[in-house]
Structure 1
Amino acid sequence: MNTTMQAPQDKPETRGKILNTVDRVSELCFGLFMALTFVGAVKAVNPGADAGYKMFLTALGCNLAWGLADAVMYLVRTLADRGQRLTLVQTIQREQDQAVGVRALREALPDKLEPLVEDADLEPIRTRLAAVSTLPPRAKYMFDDFVGALGIFLLVVLGTFPVALPFLFVLDLKTALIASRVLTLVMLFIAGYALGRYSGAGAMKAGLTMVALGVLLTMAIIALGG
């Protein structure tokens, strides 16, 4: 958790990344899996002459819904995190006992970081936070939060939109479905490759693992009639 808070005389805080690499790849993969599942479900439940168009709308609607849900949850999480930081600073300023303030900072540290930080390291942070003279009465949204939510929405929708395109341009439903599934597997490989390269777990191995998951999901959908 970020326990620092800018004092009035400091420079404005620079916004960090909306999502880290792992989060971005995960959101993309979740969207691809959902689109793959929804398309198979529509094919199984509602075949017909206009099934291709319906499957395009279903895949697109799935992507839009997933992107909207992610954007809303980002706003909820952002406000909750900001409120938690504000409560932490208010606690430090309210408590006269320095040990209580240091303990509050320690409790806010991530579990893996907490054993590595000494109380002496936290005391300068406590002192600076205690000196902040102006605090908002409550956590509130900023303009950048909505920009971030829009970015997440576009990431999910545009990242998974290619899966729906074959149903719009390929007339034969079976061919469009195969093309959509192949595109999904290719994108899953790219996402897994990027994740493996970032994490050091092996880019090719991670990419093939994502493809294997996609193949298993596709086989399950086909077995269920999709």
Structure 2
Amino acid sequence: MSTIMPAGHAQPERREPVLNTVDRVCEICFGLFMALTFVGAVKAVTAGADEGNKMFFAALGCNLAWGLADAVMYLVRTLVDRGQRLKLAQTIKREQDPAVAVRALRDALPENLEPLVEDADLERIRARLAAAATLPPRANFVLDDFVGALGIFILVVLGTFPVAVPFLVVKDVTTALIASRVLTLAMLFIAGIALGRYTGAGAMKAGIAMIAVGILLTMAIIKLGG
């Protein structure tokens, strides 16, 4: 059903999230797996007094470092992708032969979309780029890039706590390790449900598949001495 906006009232612009569902869920899973594998790796070398505290802060420090690295690489990928798109737009704008410009646009299409796009569609894009008054001279960061990087850092670090908090509240390290792994699997199940709903692949199926990944990873950690 269409909605007619009153005269003089522009329809509000729909703002896309800086990080989509896949970005958010994958970064949380990254934090979970990072903390889980790190806790398993350091378990054998943290015996003694305050073992639980040592494991908590070791896992937290690991995820702080990887969260920072992941955030920085997000900024690098964002700038590189934006620069690549700008370079293509500048090439199309400067190209005098429309056929060459259309071919460049076609070469830039993802392989699975290429058969679905007609040359007439690409010609319209070429014409709009050719008519553009100016293009930025270079790719630059915008505020949302840094918001996205901060979001990635927070999501990766948050992945630490379900895995590491039991070591602060449970004195017996073996019991804390079991609780840690159960909480991790529960969060992986929730993450799988979110991805399943987003992709339409089936929420429960995706949740169970994510648990299977977590169990296999945990078994590998135990096998390796974790």
Q: Percent identity?
A: 79
Q: Which residue of 2 aligns with 1:174?
A: 174
2:4 maps to: none
In structure 2, what is the equivalent of residue 122 of structure 1? 122
Q: Kindly tell me: are residues 27 and 14 of structure 1, through their superposed partners in 2, closer, same or farther at Cα, counting changes over 3 Å?
A: same
* Residue number in structure 1 paired with 2:139: 139
| 1:40, distance to aligned residue in structure 2 (A) | 0.9
Structure 1 residues 39 and 159, CA, compared in 2 at 3 Å: closer, same or farther?
closer
Partner in structure 1 of residue 6 of structure 2: none
1:3 matched to which residue of 2? Answer: none
SS in 2 for 1:136: coil
| 1:6 matched residue in structure 2 | none
Could you tell me which amino acid in structure 2 is paired with residue 177 of structure 1? L
1:216 counterpart residue number: 216
Alignment of 1:70-219 (within 5 A): 70-219=70-219
Q: Distance in 1 between matches of 2:160 and 2:132?
A: 44
- Whether the 8 Å contact between 1:95 and 1:101 is mirrored in structure 2 is yes
Deviates more, 1:201-210 or 1:110-119: 201-210
Query: Which runs of 5 or more structure 1 residues have no equivalent in the other structure?
Result: 1-12
The letter of the residue matching 1:129 is L
Q: How far 1:223 sits from its partner (Å)?
A: 2.6
The verdict on how the C-alpha distance between 1:104 and 1:16 changes in structure 2, with shifts beyond 3 A counting, is farther
CA shift for structure 1 position 14: 7.2
Cα RMSD for the two superposed structures: 1.8
Q: How far apart are the structure 1 equivalents of 2:217 and 2:145?
A: 35
Report the TM-score when normalising by structure 2.
0.87
Question: Relative to 1, partners in 2 of residues 1:91 and 1:121: Cα closer, same or farther, differing over 3 Å?
Answer: same
Which of 155-164 and 48-57 deviates more? 155-164
Q: One-letter code of the match for 2:28?
A: L
Structure 2: unaligned runs, 5 residues or longer? 1-12
* Counterpart Cα distance in 1 of 2:90 and 2:188: 45
Distance in 2, Cα, partners of 1:225 & 1:155: 28
The answer on whether the counterparts of 1:32 and 1:160 sit within 8 Å (CA) in structure 2 is yes
Counterpart secondary structure, 1:69? helix
TM-score by length of 1: 0.87
